[in-house]
Structure 1
Amino acid sequence: MPAAPERRTQEQRRTTTTAAVLSAAAELVVESGVPAVTLARVGERAGYSRGIVTHHFGSKQALLEALAKASQGGFVPGVAECAPGLDRLVRLIKGYLTELGRDGVRGRAFLVLWAEAATAAGLAGTFRERDESFRAELRADVEAGVRDGTIRADVVPREVAVAVLGQLRGIGLQRLLDPAAVETRGLGPAVADQWRRALSAG
């Protein structure tokens, strides 16, 4: 007699539901834009009711905030395990552009939301926080590189962080608008090498 299937815990069911809802929301953001996203449409796309979406997230605003955080977290595999410094910074830049080339739905949704945040007060705070977190990560790499002598001492970490983030987001938006015009396979290594040469103390 076959064994009965193992029952999932409440936490496992919640995790599965959350992932499905966030994936559905990302698809709708990319396909139709932020204004077209409703809790009912997200629930329908995910295979649940609007009530389930409301129960898990409470509001469209909270859902979009959760999507922004989930889409950006761990975007570049392996970087979190690297020690801060020039090598990590270069790997992050190259990896970010490589991931853009994969055209993942969540990555594209993040860029749509980020652009929308410029004029949507409800999203602005979330994306200011996400961008500042990214800049802080970049600053830490530059500061570590200055300390260990691999990055020039005259480099200003805050300025590098703003410039790198601006470049990566700008390339991402260009690819979102016209994928054929932005081929990231060769661009990632090239941009990473430019930053290595611009910052290197040696």
Structure 2
Amino acid sequence: MRRTQQERRDQAETALLTAAAELVVEQGVRSLTLARVGERAGYSRGIVTHHFGAKQALVERLARATQAGFVPGLENEPPGLDRLLRLIDGYLGELGRIAVFNQAFLLLWAESATQPELAPIFRERDAAFRADLAEDVEAGIADGTIVESAVADEVAIAVVGQLRGIALQRLLDPGSVDTEKLRRSVTGSWRRALRR
């Protein structure tokens, strides 16, 4: 069966983004070039340029692709304490089997602190992440499952900081971070801290 042009385009983009993620994990974002991405994916540099135009657009698309769906299965979960706890537990669970896209996201996120071209992308991604978490806290306060004294924005900052900090430790020294034990203790700590 012949694939449509859109299917071929989607397949090429997936291959290019996977190649870019692998290169970021192996060599860092500074060494990422359109030519290397094309070569790794089995395409010409021209195809990479056609899809993304420039390295900055490729990195932006990679950042969005790598963060999307980090914790699968939350799309239909209503906001509140249960979704917040499932997100924390799921994030830590994903770190236990950290795939190349997740590794690439975390490395790009860390590099965004010193790379001016990455900073706006990751400020936006982190702001969206914190907004989702704050929405969960606000919904939990409204439905009576979260203590009224919880400050949604502060809880969101603390959760993101904790999760990303654990993730970076896991990348740096995988053997020292037992994500299964952390799932129980970290999720349990947030449940005790927030539950009404």
**Shorter-chain TM-score above 0.5:** yes
**What amino acid maps onto 2:188 in structure 1?**
D
> Which residue does 1:58 correspond to in 2?
53
Residue 188 of structure 2 is matched in structure 1 by: 193
Q: CA RMSD in A?
A: 0.6
Query: TM-score, normalization: structure 1?
Result: 0.96
- Could you tell me which residue of structure 2 aligns to residue 161 of structure 1? 156
Q: Please, which of 103, 106, 118 is the counterpart of residue 108 of structure 1?
A: 103
Q: Deviations over 1:9-32 (max 9, x none)?
A: 111001000000000000000001
- 2: distance between equivalents of 1:160 and 1:99? 21
The whole-number CA distance in structure 2 between the counterparts of 1:47 and 1:128 is 32
Indicate which of 147, 153, 158 corresponds to 2:142: 147
Per-residue CA distance 1:145-199 (angstroms, 9 max, x = gap): 0000000001100000000000000000001110011110121122111101000
**Which residue of 1 is the match for residue 6 of structure 2?**
11
User: Would you say 1:178 and 2:173 are equivalent positions?
Assistant: yes
TM superposition shift of 1:80: 1.3
Structure 2 CA distance for aligned equivalents of residues 175 and 154 of structure 1 = 32
The alpha carbon displacement at 1:134 in A equals 0.2
AA at the equivalent of 1:196: R
**Structure-2 residue corresponding to 1:27:** 22
1 CA distance for matches of 2:25 and 2:7?
A: 27
Residues in 1 aligned to 2:84 and 2:61: alpha-carbon distance in whole angstroms: 26
3-state SS of 2:182 partner: helix
CA distance in 1, matches of 2:184, 2:12: 37
Shift of the alpha carbon at 1:144? 0.3
Residue 30 of structure 1 aligns to which amino acid in structure 2? V
Q: Shift of the alpha carbon at 1:67?
A: 0.7
TM-score by length of 2: 0.99
Q: C-alpha separation between the residues in 1 aligned to 2:91 and 2:7? A: 30
CA distance in 2, matches of 1:154, 1:173: 30
Out of 131, 139, 143, the residue aligned to residue 136 of structure 1 is: 131
Distance in 1, Cα, partners of 2:28 & 2:120: 19
Question: Which residue pairs with 1:3 in the alignment?
Answer: none
- The residue aligned with 2:75 is 80
Q: Deviation digits for residues 107-165 of structure 1, max 9, x if unmatched?
A: 00001100110011111000000000000000000000000000000110000000000
CA distance in 2, matches of 1:164, 1:79: 17
Structure 2: distance between partners of 1:65 and 1:176: 22
Residue of structure 1 equivalent to 2:119: 124
d(CA) in 2 for partners of 1:30 and 1:111? 9
CA distance in 2, matches of 1:187, 1:101: 10
Any stretches of 5+ residues in structure 2 without a counterpart? none
